[in-house]
Amino acid sequence: MSQDRGSFGRLGFVLAAAGSAIGLGNIWKFPYMTYDNQGGSFVLVYLLAVIIVGLPIMMAEIVIGRSTNKSPVSAFLQLHHPAFSIIGWLGVVTGFVILSYYSVVAGWTVHYFIKGVYWSVQGFTSAEAATLGDQFGAFISNPSAQIGYHALFMGFSVMVVIFGVKGGIERLTKILMPVLLLILLSLVIVSMWSEGFTEAMGFLFRPSKISPDSLLEAVGHAFFTLSLGMGAIITYGSYMTKKESIPRSAAMVCLMDTLIALMACVVMFSLIYSVPAVEREQFSSSIGVMFTTLPKLFYGLPGGIFLAPLFYILVAFAALTSTISLLEVVVAFFIDQLNWHRVYATLVMGLTIFAFGILSALSLGALTGLSAWQPLGDKSKGVFDTLDYLASNWFLPVGGILIAIFVGWVLPKVFSRKEVEKGHGSFHLHGLWIFLLRFVAPAAIGWIVYSVIFLGKSYN
Ligand code: TRP
């Protein structure tokens, strides 16, 4: 007897998938990428990438999941295309790998939330402001702090996933997503009063210079931020009921994800542009910007004592709704394929990923051997960076291209049409959708894979 897989209630899918999509990628990675790529035009290209590559692939993933009600490996077996279950295997490995280092950074946000509360209560002194960089450096190279917060975050994720689709994932995302939106909205409103607001809007929406590399970065990021290419959306799609519309749900998730990313940019750039130009040098793409620079800016604003803790709790919430989707992919595999009990699968895999993640946690300065490890030459440095490089440049694009090819070329058109039309009614854009999956998405992603292999580029 196999256990009940569970399913989402109304809006459950949209909120859970948006929760998966909205994460560190939106609030931390996208703003610094936009900053590095000179704003305006990069944002525009990114929007295009979301619409012509991200949205069609998201729909493809939902179709695979919902038509089979299975997690990726089992889904392709059920569709009688066992060769494509490689997508599922790759997805389980990718989920495992991404979660192992993502949880480390997510843990930092918890630490900084606590720090933020402390600063707000005790006062954020100029001595504190002057040593933010050193404090961050000391924190990420402190082994017990790194392992501790990583453990804490994995613990939170396990606690949610253990309660299953409805009682865990849906229940949490239904609470956290509105809260997240509310916090971010209030931060946006506050930032409208900062000096840098107008300049920030100009930077974000005025056309700017753009290079071919930025184009690729935009496509690559669209994948990461929408949680595509590794079966997370296939898995969540497998819990979606036939009453829900696939195109509308996918469009909503893409829209929410993009809105949140843009709002995060408005907040950060308003703060950044409130600082004199000479001091802005420090805001380049470094892993620590959010922790070494933002506090200074927050505490300089009226009402600053509320902003820093609110901001870090916001990021922690966003990260949690993402880590649970990564864990769910791995757990669902063991439930569907090996018939493990959910509680057992979650505990065992949560613990295993935690253990593996210790390597990343200690590779940011705590253990020289792990920090200096360079198996791929100058592509990456240290375990953390190497895993992020592999996932963003290899696993996700390869998974994405295979998914596009599968639904574009292999799955019969009548099959995909029938599935999309359940809960939606007749779908007039079916031809366009298949066209994007057949040609546009593989070409765009193929170009990424090509330039990673032959031109030695990297996009994380
Ligand atoms: N999309 C999340 C973010 O932007 C990260 C994430 C969650 C993810 N699940 C994923 C990325 C699956 C790739 C694949 O932070």
The finding on whether 322 has its CB within 6 A of some atom of ligand 1 is yes
**pLDDT per residue as tens digits for the range 109-149:** 999 999 999 999 999 999 999 999 899 999 999 999 999 99
Ligand 1 centroid to residue 227 C-alpha, Å: 4
The finding on whether 25 has its CB within 6 A of some atom of ligand 1 is yes
> For the ranges 49-53, 197-201, 206-210, which has the lowest average pLDDT?
206-210
Contacts of 62 (CB under 8 A, 6+ apart): 233, 234, 236, 237, 240, 246, 249, 250
The finding on whether 247 has its CB within 6 A of some atom of ligand 1 is no
Question: What pLDDT is attached to residue 300?
Answer: 83
Question: What pLDDT is attached to residue 282?
Answer: 63
> For the ranges 183-187, 307-311, 379-383, which has the lowest average pLDDT?
379-383
**pLDDT per residue as tens digits for the range 324-375:** 999 999 999 999 999 999 999 999 999 999 999 999 999 999 999 899 899 9
Q: Select from 28, 326, 353, 392 the residue to mutate for testing ligand 1; criterion: most ligand atoms less than 8 Å from CB.
A: 326
Question: What pLDDT is attached to residue 360?
Answer: 97
Question: What pLDDT is attached to residue 57?
Answer: 98
Question: What pLDDT is attached to residue 292?
Answer: 87
Question: What pLDDT is attached to residue 1?
Answer: 46
| Protein residue with least CA distance to atom 11, ligand 1 | 227
Question: What pLDDT is attached to residue 285?
Answer: 53
In the chain, the N- to C-terminal Cα span, in Å, equals: 44
Residue 2: pLDDT above 80? no
| Protein residue with least CA distance to atom 10, ligand 1 | 227
Question: What pLDDT is attached to residue 286?
Answer: 63
Average pLDDT over residues 178-192: 93
Residue 283: pLDDT above 80? no
**pLDDT per residue as tens digits for the range 225-260:** 999 999 999 999 999 999 999 999 999 999 999 999
| Exposure b/e, 353-387, CB count within 10 A at least 16 = b | bbebbbbbbbbbbbbeebbebeeeeebbbbbbbbb
Average pLDDT over residues 3-16: 91
The finding on whether 23 has its CB within 6 A of some atom of ligand 1 is yes
Residue 284: pLDDT above 60? no
Q: Which of 426, 112, 39, 105 is nearest to 293 (CA)?
A: 112
Ligand 1 centroid to residue 201 C-alpha, Å: 26
Rounded distance between C-alpha atoms, residue 78 and residue 414, angstroms: 17
Rounded distance between C-alpha atoms, residue 207 and residue 43, angstroms: 9
The finding on whether 225 has its CB within 6 A of some atom of ligand 1 is yes
Average pLDDT over residues 417-438: 97
Percent of the chain residues past pLDDT 90, beyond the cut: 76
Question: What pLDDT is attached to residue 249?
Answer: 98
Q: How confident is the model at residue 210 (pLDDT cuts 50, 70, 90)?
A: confident
The finding on whether 397 has its CB within 6 A of some atom of ligand 1 is no
Residue 442, classed as helix, strand or coil, is helix
> For the ranges 61-70, 284-293, 388-397, 409-418, which has the lowest average pLDDT?
284-293
Ligand 1 centroid to residue 22 C-alpha, Å: 7
Q: Identify the structural domains of the chain with CATH numbers, from first to last.
A: 2-361+382-445 (1.20.1740)
Ligand 1 centroid to residue 424 C-alpha, Å: 27
Average pLDDT over residues 419-430: 97
Residue 448: pLDDT above 90? no
Residue 192: pLDDT above 60? yes
Q: In sequence order, what DSSP letters do the residues of 313-364 get, joined into one string? A: HHHHHHHHHHHHHHHHHHHHHHHHHH---HHHHHHHHHHHHHHHHHHHHTTT
The finding on whether 258 has its CB within 6 A of some atom of ligand 1 is no
Joined together, the tokens standing for residue 33 give: 């990428």
Average pLDDT over residues 276-280: 74
Ligand 1 centroid to residue 100 C-alpha, Å: 12
Contact (Cβ atoms closer than 8 angstroms) between residue 75 and residue 289: no
Joined together, the tokens standing for residue 24 give: 């560190």
Q: How far is CA 189 from CA 16, 19, 193, 416, 457, in A?
A: 26, 22, 7, 43, 38
Question: What pLDDT is attached to residue 253?
Answer: 98
Count of C-beta atoms within a 10 Å radius of residue 248: 12
Ligand 1 centroid to residue 226 C-alpha, Å: 6
Ligand 1 centroid to residue 21 C-alpha, Å: 5
The finding on whether 253 has its CB within 6 A of some atom of ligand 1 is no
Contact (Cβ atoms closer than 8 angstroms) between residue 212 and residue 45: no
Question: What pLDDT is attached to residue 303?
Answer: 80
| Protein residue with least CA distance to atom 7, ligand 1 | 322
Q: How confident is the model at residue 263 (pLDDT cuts 50, 70, 90)?
A: very high
The finding on whether 26 has its CB within 6 A of some atom of ligand 1 is yes
**Mean of pLDDT over the chain:** 93
Ligand 1 centroid to residue 274 C-alpha, Å: 31
Helices 85-122 and 304-338, interaxial angle, to 10°?
160
Ligand 1 centroid to residue 19 C-alpha, Å: 9
The residue length of the chain stands at 460
Looking at ligand 1, which atom is closest to the CA of residue 20?
A: 7
Looking at ligand 1, which atom is closest to the CA of residue 326?
A: 9
**pLDDT per residue as tens digits for the range 44-63:** 999 999 999 999 999 999 99
Ligand 1 centroid to residue 425 C-alpha, Å: 30
Question: What pLDDT is attached to residue 144?
Answer: 98
Question: What pLDDT is attached to residue 315?
Answer: 95
Percent of the chain residues past pLDDT 70, beyond the cut: 98
Residue 4: pLDDT above 70? yes
> For the ranges 6-20, 83-97, 368-382, 383-397, which has the lowest average pLDDT?
368-382
Joined together, the tokens standing for residue 218 give: 């935009």
Looking at ligand 1, which atom is closest to the CA of residue 323?
A: 7
Ligand 1 centroid to residue 39 C-alpha, Å: 22
Average pLDDT over residues 410-433: 97
| Protein residue with least CA distance to atom 9, ligand 1 | 227
Find the radius of gyration of the CA atoms of the chain. 21
Residue 38: pLDDT above 80? yes
